[in-house]
Chain A
Amino acid sequence: MLENLLINKCKAGDGDAYRRLMNNYKNKLFGYLWRFSNSQDVAEELFQLTLIKVWKGLKKYDDRKKFSSWLFTVAHNVAMDDLRMRKSSRIFTTIDEIENGNISERPDDEYVKKESIEIINKSVNDLSEKQKSVFLLRQNGELTFREIAEIMNEPLNTITSHMHYAIKKIKKQIEKENEPRKRSVI
Chain B
Amino acid sequence: MSLLNKKTSLIREKRLQAISAYYGSTELLLNENIKEGQFLQRVRTFSQETASDILYALNVVSTIPESAIVIHGAAGCGAGRLSLDLTDNNDGKWAVTNLNERDSIMGSDVKLREAIKQVYKLHHPKIVFVISTPIVAINNDDIETVVEELTDELGISIVPVYSDGFRSKIGTTGYDIVSHSIAKYILKRDSTIKNEAPKANYVNLLSVSENEADLQEVNRLLQELGLNTNVFPRYADLENIQNVKNASFSISINPDEADYPGKIFETDFQIPYIQSVLPLGIAHTSQWITDISIATGHKTEALELISREKEKLTELLKKRKFNKQKVFISLTPAYAIAVYDLLVELGFEVVGIKLSYIDQLHFGFVEKLKTERPDLALLVGEGQLFEEENLIQKVNPEIYIGGKGGDFAVPIRNGIPVINIDSIQIIGFNGVINFVEKIGRSLANTSFTQLLAQNETRTYTNGWINKSTNWFIKKEVK
Asked if A and B are interacting partners, one says no
Listed in ascending order, the chain A residues whose CB lies under 8 Å from chain B are none
**Contact residues of B with A, CB < 8 Å?**
none
